[in-house]
Amino acid sequence: MKQTINADVIVIGGGNAGFSAAHAAAERGRKVVVIERGDESSAGGNSYYTAGATRFPHEGLESLLDIVEADERHTRTEVPPYSAEEYAGDLRKVTEGRGDQEMADVLVHEASDTVRWLQQLGLKYRLMYERQAYQRPDGSYLFWGGLHVGNVGGGEGLIRDHTDVALKLGEQIVYGVTATDLITEDGRVIGVRGESVEGDVEAYGETVVIAAGGFESSPALRQKYLGDGWEHAVVRGTPNNTGRMIKAGLDVGAAKGGDWSTCHSVQWDAWNENNASNRELTNRLTRQGYPFGILVNRAGERFLDEGADFRNYTYAKYGREILRQPGSIAFQIFDADLCPLLRAEEYEMPGISEVRADSIDELAEKLGIPGEKLVHTIDEYNGSVDVSRTFDPTIKDGKAARVEPPKSNWAAPIATGPFFAYPVTCGITFTFGGLKGDLDGRVLKNDGEPIPGLLACGEALGGLFSVNYPGGSGLAAGVVFGRRAGAIA
């Protein structure tokens, strides 16, 4: 049975970016339909799987109190200001200057206002104590790393709030429809075709907004564009982001935008048998305590600088480094003194992959690592730790290990038993390449001219990120460019 839908604006994808576009269009009085591939129990795209962290400039705690939920800890909390200039500098640094600078400028100058717009619509935010702050000996809290605010309830809360706002604004959400092709007439996009369990679907509108994510869930496309080996990466988020609507855009003449050869990927629980697209554990299968310990491969060798920077600036690229190791696996190693620094939500849950031993030799045996090699690696590392500096997780403390590769910060000996190891592999989050667009999301052809009727936002819009990204800037980009697309849809 064929279903036909008519509206002013068709948004393909009910994640953070898609809903932001839908809200902006609905506020202008447009009739909006959101086409979502997941059913109501599997909706939300990648956004559902996030921690909800959103990076935006602010002037410190006082400037945030009007948008975050009340918390008795606020009176004992220090939140350093984070300026637009710092945000822009972080983007340039971690993308190695390869991102679109005009897009970056829009992001850093509009992110704060856009978050406030969403909060006023009904999204709920909080300070992320458990992820972005450390408690000091006097009982106060210090936030770090430029990323301080997130959604109440994480990604699940983010999508729940977006859905509530959509219904309040009169948007229609159609679940369980896989968009397949764009419908064109005389060079203009006028709709989208899709499939559902009940039959074919055609949705028509003056504007179609592609917000259906990247291509990270397609092993074939990962191998084609990211390279050999990437077909083995574990998909952290939704299995629905197969790149189908990016291809649909290319098929109607869109140009490719951004860096198609790199992506966001992290250290991910390697031995959990349900480690792909797990909606119950979501982002809690990530392992982000690595700056405090060491990482070794199957040969018992370190292969990167675990303390190069705060994890917000390195975690999205280190999954790639693990994919390159033998068997695409590595082991995070800590001792009993370091384990209290690890986040309970990641390292103390039932069912996580953890190996514990009373000696390094025993740990090596349990991991299948040559014992003599692991003992040598740890002894060499321990002997190189700078003992003249004080370990301080709230700053880049310069407490280094002068070994190869070096550890630039937070180097502490692995010396006190019991010892702990966490097997990690590469978990892919999203791809950086997508459709080429202008600053309002108009999808462009190779000659730079826009395709009438077609917009893109979120992970489907390429150009902003390359190589790496600062944590929390993905959700920020989704709301900023989603809102911009919805404002002209």
269-474-434-108 Cα dihedral, nearest 10 degrees: -150
Give me 196's structure tokens. 């559902």
Domain borders along the chain are 3-214+432-488, 264-427
Q: Give residue 1's pLDDT.
A: 81
Q: Give residue 349's pLDDT.
A: 84
307-345 pLDDT per residue, tens:
999 999 999 999 999 999 999 999 999 999 999 999 999
- SS3 of the chain: CCEEEECCEEEECCCHHHHHHHHHHHHCCCCEEEEECCCCCCCCHHHHHCCCEECCCECCHHHHCCCECCCHHHHHEECCCECHHHHHHHHHHHCCCCCCHHHHHHHHHHHHHHHHHHHHHCCCEEECHHHHEEECCCCCEEECCCCCEEECCHHHHHHHHHHHHHHHCCCEEEECCEEEEEEEECCEEEEEEEEECCEEEEEECCEEEECCCCCCCCHHHHHHHHCCCHHHCEECCCCCCCCHHHHHHHHCCECEECCCCCEEEEEEECCCCCCCCCCCCHHHHECCCHHHCEEECCCCCCCCCCCCCCHHHCHHHHHHHHHCCHHHCEEEEECCCCHHHCCHHHHCCCCCCCEEECCHHHHHHHHCCCHHHHHHHHHHHHHHECCCCCCCCCCCCCCCECCCCCECCCCCCCCCCCEEEEEEEEEEEEECCEECECCCCEEEECCCCEEEEEEECHHHECCCCECECCCCHHHHHHHHHHHHHHHHC
pTM (two decimals): 0.96
Residues of the chain with pLDDT under 50: none
Is the domain defined by 264-427 classed in CATH 3.90.700.10? yes
Q: Give residue 330's pLDDT.
A: 98
Q: Give residue 468's pLDDT.
A: 96
Query: In the CATH scheme, what architecture does the domain 3-214+432-488 have?
Result: 3-Layer(bba) Sandwich (3.50)
Q: Give residue 82's pLDDT.
A: 98
